[in-house]
Structure 1
Amino acid sequence: MSSFVTEVLASSGKLEKEDLSSKISKMSRKVEDTKEEVCDMINKRYGDFLPSLQGSEELMVQVDEVSKEMDMLKNCIENEVCQNIHVAVAEYAKLKQQLEKNTIIITMLGHLKEFHNAMEEFNKALLEKKYVDAANQLERARSSVDSLKGWKTSQLPLLSALSSELTVQRENLIYHMGDEWKRLVIWRLPSSKGKTPLENCHPCSKDGEPRPHALLCCVLQALAIQGDLQHKIKLFSQVLLKNMLKPLVVYPSLSVRVTEQQDEGTTLALQCLEESHEERSTPSQVYSKLLLVLKTLCKQHSLCITHAYLRLFILEILHDKLEKEKSSLSAILGELIWEEISQCIIHDCLLYSIPTNSSQLEKYNTVIKETEEFEKSLKEMEYLQGDSTDLLKYARDVNCHFASKKCKDVIVAARKLMTSKMHNTVKIAPDSKLRLPKLPAPNSEAKVKQETTKEEITMENTKQLSAWSLCLPACRISESVQQLMELALNTLCEAVGSSTQCALQLFFTVRNIFQLFYDVVPTYHKENLLKFPHLAAIQHNNCMYLAHHLLTLGHHFRAHLPQPLSEGVATFVDMVPGFRKLGAQCFLAQLNVQRAELLERLSTAHNFCNLDDEDNYIAASKAVRQVIHQLKQLGTVWQDVLPVSIYCKAMGNLLNTAIAEVISKIMMLEDISSEDGEHLHTLCQTIIEEGPLVFIPLAEEKKNKKYQEEVPLYVKKWSTFKELVIVLRANLQEIVDRWADGKGPLALEFSSSEVKNLIRALFQNTERRAVALTKIK
């Protein structure tokens, strides 16, 4: 053992003589031998109880020596062997790095070679007008450049030059293909200023090259590979929409002419054969024209072309065996034009084909079928993808669109009537009735209930109500308001038998008509209603006419409308108070204007004082004459317009205002001479004689003669005024007699203080006057 340790120490760290594995195996054997001896010694010591102290000490020394040898070997391995291992690993890493660098260089050289070969093939294909091969070779070159750019360690100065060359050649290819496109796809638009863009138009022709169809397909495929097809087709689709597809939808007189020649290709042209008397084309006409254009384009470009954004290089890297994605030209074109052309068809064709009468809705199923066939044809040609489109959805929602169109037309017509002139009037008689349509019989329960109610009302009417109950009095209303009511009736008739949604829309449109009248007419005609008494009276009658018919309008239609309208929602009664108030306010405002004018005229009478002065008398007489003239003018304007009762109340109110003002002015006089009294009597007598003339009925209103001549019924101050006129010419005794101790006619109209003031103003201060004053109590 000592010789082995000596030999290890003598080696001085050099492991060239023996290999580590052999030394380690020797060491292992020595360890096993030592273990056996130790175990044997232990057995003898503790098992056999044989004292062998000296043997055990020698074994301990032997164990210590073996341990030292192991420590020395371990240190040797750690200090020398591990160091040599690190050196070897570093050398290996350096060699590996050098190998990778060489590999990168070889790969980059391969890409450069690939780029060079691709560009050579590209130039060759471009000269031979093999645009698809040229585009593919250019993509090979692009792939090589992209691969070179992908290496972060790549610092080739040549890389920028390669990229520039690639860009230049791509633009060169696109230029050549654009030039071919211009020669193969030609738009000829009219340049004459005197002609519309739709005349003599030959938009799409292909000519110039032998077999233009094959060449055009080659150009399209090359454009798709280069990613420029989408942009090119987009520009083409915009011109196609503007100059061909949209005009075919909008103008009914246009037609499409297709001519095909084997060498020159296909020509699509718009031509205006004759002026059409129709304002809009029917959907079937539009569909047939559009299909002719699209079928021609589809026939010319039926080959599949590579889609513009294929991920070719990813497929190559992954070694995917999938086929390249392809999309037809019609699919690309359809994706670009469908949304815009479908909206054009909706707004310029289908919108105008929607019927305006509910009876025509069944015939519209033909349009729905035509729309379905149109979309089916587009799907077969791959212009259209998917199942649900806005065009077909719009056509199928005809009930909703019918209601919306009907409501819009009704509101427009109603607003036109409301803003028309009001002075065109029609006479309304008490027996005038609305021309109510004949409606279908309601269901049995509602019918029984309706008959029972009618029977009860009839019995009640025979007992209490006259034939003229709930009838409008004779008056004049605007012709436009009568037409407005007819419009409301027709709209409600459209709601009968319609779907629930349609009926609701139409019913509330009618309510909106009346609400619009309530809001628009007073505002739109505001100045005229204040300026012209005639219009104010007509507006009053209009409002009362509408309020009268709104009471029963909902009741007439309720049983014939779907739920919830039939359950009580269909009513207009809530609008009646508003219309009555609106009419009353309008006429009262005009009465206030006339009242102010009467008072203004009377203010020029110099308070009826000093009438012995000729100027004062002339001014007072003129004021009275102006008042009478104004009342007569109003009577001429209002008498044939207003109902008799309203007319009498209005004229009585105005005459009463004038009389009350005259009475007030006279009662304020402190001194009235005999001449002044005579003049005052003359002026007042004029009013008494001519004032009631405004109540004389028209020839056709003879039955109202008595009713209209009851002047004191409408002029509250009439009796007071007549007593004043009597007093102005009476002597003291006559005044005292008419007073009759506070029981005479004079006492009914004036107070004692007012009579005393009159006596003091009319008579001088004498004993007779004093006696008369004492009798006025």
Structure 2
Amino acid sequence: MTSFVTEVLASSGKLEKDDLASKISKLSRKVEETKEEVFDMLNKKYSDFLPSMQAAEELMDQVETVSKDIDLLKSCIENEVQQNLHEAMTEYAKLKQQLEKNTTVISMLQHLQEFDTAIGEYQKALQEQKYVVAAEQYIKARNSVDALKAWRSADIPLFQALGSELTIQRENLTYHLGEEWQNQAVWKLPPSKELTSMESFLTTELHLNTGASPEREEGTHPLLASVLQALAIQGELHKKIKLFGQVLLRYMLRPLIVYPCVLVEVRDVPEQGSVISLQYKESQTEHSAPAQVYAKVLTVLKALHTHLFGMTCTSTMGHSSNRQTLVLSAILGDLIWEEMCDCIIQECLLYSIPSSSSQLPEYGTVIKETEDFERSLREMCYLSGDSDLLKYAKNVSCHFANKKCQDVIVAARKLMTSEMHNTVKITPDYKLSMPKLPILGGGDGKRGSQSEKPSLQQEKQLGERTLCLPACRISESVQQLMELALRTLSEAVGSSNKCAVQLFYTVRNIFHLFYDVVPTYHRENLLRFPHLAAIQHNNCMFLAHHLLTLGHQFRPHLPLTDGVCYFVDLVPGFRKLGAQCFVAQMNVQKAEMLERLSTARNFSNLDDEENYSAASKAVRQVIHQLKRLGKVWQDVLPVNIYCKAMGTLLNTAITELITKIMMLEDISSKDGEHLHTLCQTIIEEGPLVFTPFPEESKNRKYQEEVPVYVKKWMTFKELSIALKASLQEIVDRWAEGKGPLALEFSSTEMKSLIRALFQNTDRRAVALTKIK
């Protein structure tokens, strides 16, 4: 036992794996032997009752010694084996790191070899014009450089040199491909500064040089396919096609769409390709028909599809997993379709929309032509998915309504801003030419109306001219405006529900526009020229008159919901607008009249020749102003409006004159005679300003009815009489408050006039006492 432990201790620090295992095995056998001896001893002690006390003590010493040996060996294992294990793991890690570094270096060398090989193959292929191979080798070289850059020590000078070489070769390939592309599609374009007319586009030509090169080997791609495939691999194909599409749109497709007289010609050149050029052909139309535009556009796109864009390419983008098949015509279509579609709509389809609802059924031809056009584009892969072009064509009802409404508003605004002085005569028998509307109710309705006719005749009927316009003059433009509204409403009757509603509200907008535009646009002229103010008054009343019944005439034929207010709500506004315009002109004339009367020096001291001359001149100017207005408004205003207007102005003049005379505190006999003369001038010439008709014989009736229109006329006549009458005559005309003088003046006014006319005498005092 002792020799075993000593042997274990002697090998401390030098244990090998096999030696340690053998010693553990020996120790294990020793433990088993000791265990058997202990079991044997206990069995003898407790089973055989053999007195073996001494042997037991020796055995206990032996167990304790073995236990110590076990502890010592365990400690040795924990210290020595674990230390050697850590050292072994460290050494293994260093070896692994060294191996990885060596592997990386080998990988770098492989990438460098691949880069060098790819560049060599690239240069060889580029010299031989094998552009697809060159592009693929360039991609390989680029991938090799990308893999090298992923290494942590990629900042060494070698990698910078590789990157520079890669950039140079990329630009070199791009240049060669660009040159080849330009050789395949050669544009002859006019200078941009000359693009001011249609003629400048006629020099545009596109040469498609797609003939095969005799130097190329059999079994390889044609040159064009090779160039396109290389561009696709390099990622430059979209850019090239985009630039080509922009030029195609600007210099060829757009002129073909916009100008009807520009045609396209495709001419084949043997062993070279084709030439697409623009030609001129005289045309009388302002805008091209859709069929003509579609034919011209298809001619160009078919030629391009045949010689240039009717092939596919594969774009690998450097990885086989990213392979993508590119259809060249689809790429071009995606790039130019939206802009070309907008151009066709704005320059062609917009003008092909019918201007009348009766022409809408014929528009089905245009829809069919548009469908055929898009079908041809889809067959050549220029178009995929839904198209705004066909949607626009099919939505013709909405576009018709929009166009019609826009045209109506433009025409209405043009009428509103035209000259107002061009007038037409309106008589009570005047009627607008109403459009023929569908008959509602059929034959039964007609029979019913005929059966009721006798009973209606027996009842009291309204006059023939009830609700008729009085004779007057209105602007020709307003008559045309009303006719425009009627035509628009008649279009609504034969249109779809949506279109009818839109047209109806457009007519309402016409009248709203008139209400806002005309007073603003003609503001200065309406205040400056009384003739135009009278015409504007008549225009507003004319529109208000027809708006009363316009809605009822069309209501049964329009798909409007119940409760919709048609045009009646606009009537008060138009009446007010006409009245305001004319009242404003009346105020201008009143102000001028009062300003002239203000130069009469208050009609005082007329015995002075200068004062009398000034007063006489003022009165003459007022009479002249009224006569001029009478001629200006003659045959323009309705007779009743004319007479009221002239009566109001004349009443303003004589009221001012009465006020001035009644304010005088001292009127001499000579002043009274002069004042009487001035009043007589107005009394004699005032009625002559009432000339509503050019025929003098028709005017006499209204000249005799001046007191009806001039409120202060009788007052003025009584004042004129009083200025020359004696005290007794004044008292007699007063007639104790019952005479004609008392009807026009109050006692206070009459007493004041008597005090101004007569000196303070007993006779005047007696006369004053009688004025009460």
Bucket of the pairwise TM-score, normalised by the shorter protein = over 0.9
Alignment of 1:649-660 (within 5 A): 649-660=644-655
Preserved contact between residue 252 and residue 276 of structure 1 (Cα < 8 Å): yes
Alignment-derived partner of residue 312 in structure 1: 318
**Are the equivalent residues in 2 in contact too, given 1:217–1:303 (CA < 8 A)?**
no
Q: Report deviation, 1:638.
A: 1.1
- Between 500-509 and 580-589, the greater mean CA deviation after superposition: 500-509
| 1:393-542 correspondence runs (5 A) | 393-442=391-440, 462-463=459-460, 465-542=462-539
* C-alpha distance in structure 2 between counterparts of 1:276 and 1:296, whole Å: 25
Asked if structure 1 preserves the Cα contact closer than 8 Å seen for 2:596 and 2:618, the reply is: yes
1:592-631 to 2 correspondences below 5 Å: 592-631=587-626
- Deviation (angstroms), 1:435: 1.3
Take 1:48 and 1:593, find their aligned partners in 2: how far apart are those partners? 157
The yes-or-no answer on 1:226 pairing with 2:234 is yes
2:94 aligns with 94
Distance in 2 between the 1:209 and 1:190 partners? Answer: 29
After superposing the two structures, state which structure 1 stretch, 245-254 or 189-198, moved more.
189-198
Aligned residue for 2:267, secondary structure, equals strand
Is 2:763 the counterpart of 1:768? yes
8 A Cα contact 1:543 1:583, kept in partner = yes
CA–CA distance in 1 between the matches of 2:39 and 2:476?
137
Partner of 1:153: 153
8 Å CA contact 1:224, 1:305 repeated in 2: no
SS of aligned partner of 2:473? strand
* 1:549-573 CA-partner distances (Å, limit 9, x unpaired): 1111111111111142xx2415111
The 1-side partners of 2:467 and 2:48 are apart by: 144
More displaced, 428-437 or 295-304?
295-304
8 A Cα contact 1:257 1:268, kept in partner: yes
- Please list, as runs of the form range in 1=range in 2, the aligned pairs for 1:716-735 lying within 5 A after superposition: 716-735=711-730
Distance of aligned partners of 1:697 and 1:339 in 2 relative to their CA distance in 1, 3 Å threshold: closer
Q: With the length of structure 2 as denominator, give the TM-score of the two structures.
A: 0.93
SS of aligned partner of 1:259 = strand
In structure 2, list runs of 5 or more residues that go unmatched. none
CA deviations on 1:128-181 (whole Å, 9 max, x unpaired) are 111121111111111111111111234432111111111111211222222222
> 1:685-726 CA deviation, whole Å, 9 max, x = no partner?
110111111224425797786466321121110110010011
Separation (CA, whole Å) in 2 of partners of 1:57 and 1:444: 142
AA aligned to 2:500 is: A
Q: Note closer, same or farther for the CA distance 1:302–1:541 as it changes in structure 2 (3 Å cut).
A: closer
Match of 1:22 in 2: 22
1:656-675 equivalence runs, <5 A:
656-675=651-670
Identity, in percent, stands at 68
1:105-504 to 2 correspondences below 5 Å: 105-190=105-190, 196-206=199-209, 210=213, 214-272=222-280, 274-301=281-308, 304-306=311-313, 310-313=316-319, 315=320, 324-386=323-385, 388-442=386-440, 462-463=459-460, 465-504=462-501
The verdict on how the C-alpha distance between 1:548 and 1:307 changes in structure 2, with shifts beyond 3 A counting, is farther
Moved more, 398-407 or 84-93: 84-93
Residues in 1 aligned to 2:37 and 2:568: alpha-carbon distance in whole angstroms: 127
The alignment of Structure 1 onto Structure 2 pairs a total of residues equal to: 764
Contact 2:630–2:692 (CA under 8 A) maintained in structure 1: no
| Distance across 2 between alignment mates of 1:364 and 1:581 | 45
Separation in structure 1 between the aligned mates of residue 697 and residue 490 of structure 2, nearest angstrom: 40
Structure 1 unmatched ranges of 5 or more: none
Q: Letter of the aligned partner of 2:307 in structure 1?
A: Q
Matched, 1:562 2:583: no
Structure 1 segment 54-73 matched on structure 2, within 5 A: 61=61, 63-73=63-73
- The 1:761/1:20 distance shift into structure 2, 3 A limit, reads same
CA 1:14/1:547 → structure 2, altered by over 3 Å: closer, same or farther?
same
Once the two structures are overlaid, the 10-residue window that deviates more, 57-66 or 91-100, is 57-66
Question: Contact (CA 8 Å) 1:548, 1:576: kept in 2 or not?
Answer: yes
Distance 1:137 1:759 in 2: 128
Question: Are the counterparts in 2 of residues 558 and 568 from structure 1 also a CA contact under 8 Å?
Answer: no
2:145/2:162 contact within 8 Å kept: yes
How far apart are the structure 1 equivalents of 2:735 and 2:526?
A: 50
* CA 1:101–1:693: 2 relative to 1, 3 Å: same
**Deviation digits for residues 265-286 of structure 1, max 9, x if unmatched?**
11111111x2210001111111
In structure 2, what is the Cα distance between the partners aligned to 1:311 and 1:401? 46
Query: Per-residue displacement from partner, 1:522-553 (whole Å, max 9, x unpaired)?
Result: 11100001000011111111111111111111
Considering only aligned residues, what root-mean-square deviation do their CA atoms show, in Å? 3.0
Partner residue in 2 for 1:638 = 633
Question: Counterparts of 2:516 and 2:40 in 1: how far apart (Å)?
Answer: 126
Post-superposition CA distance 1:627-684 (Å, at most 9, x none): 0111111111112111111111111110000000000111111121222111111111
What is the CA-CA distance between 1:457 and the residue it aligns to? 14
- C-alpha displacement of 1:461: 11
Higher mean alpha-carbon deviation, 399-408 vs 22-31, is at 22-31
Distance in 2 (alpha carbons) for counterparts of 1:417 and 1:457: 46
Which one of the candidate residues 563, 584, 590 is aligned to 1:589? Answer: 584
Q: Is the 8 A contact 2:630 2:689 kept in 1?
A: yes
Once residues 123 and 634 of structure 2 are traced to their aligned partners in structure 1, the CA distance between those partners, rounded to angstroms, is 101
Q: Is the 8 A contact 2:208 2:308 kept in 1?
A: no
Cα deviation code 1:468-526 (max 9, x no counterpart):
22221111111111111111111111111322221121111111110000111111100
Aligned residue runs from structure 1 range 25-40, under 5 A: 25-31=25-31
After TM superposition, give the deviation of residue 591 of structure 1 in Å. Answer: 0.5
Amino acid at match of 1:169: Q
Q: Which moved more, 1:224-233 or 1:712-721?
A: 224-233
Cα contact 2:263–2:279 (8 A) shared by 1: yes
**Match for 2:763: what amino acid?**
R
Give the distance between the partners of 2:338 and 2:74, measured in 1 at CA. 84
- 2:734 corresponds in structure 1 to 739
In structure 2, distance between residues paired with 1:529 and 1:766: 57
**Worse-matched range after superposition: 470-479 or 33-42:** 33-42
Q: Any idea what SS the aligned residue of 2:557 has?
A: coil
Residue 444 of structure 1 and its aligned partner are, at CA, apart by 7.6
The worse-fitting range, judged by mean Cα deviation, of 17-26 and 574-583 is 17-26
- Contact in 1 for aligned 2:688/2:703 (Cα 8 Å): no
* 2:79 corresponding residue in structure 1: 79
User: What CA distance in whole angstroms lies between the structure 1 residues aligned with 2:67 and 2:464?
Assistant: 142
TM-superposed deviation, 1:33: 5.2
Q: Return closer, same or farther for 1:620/1:17 CA change in 2, 3 Å cut-off.
A: closer
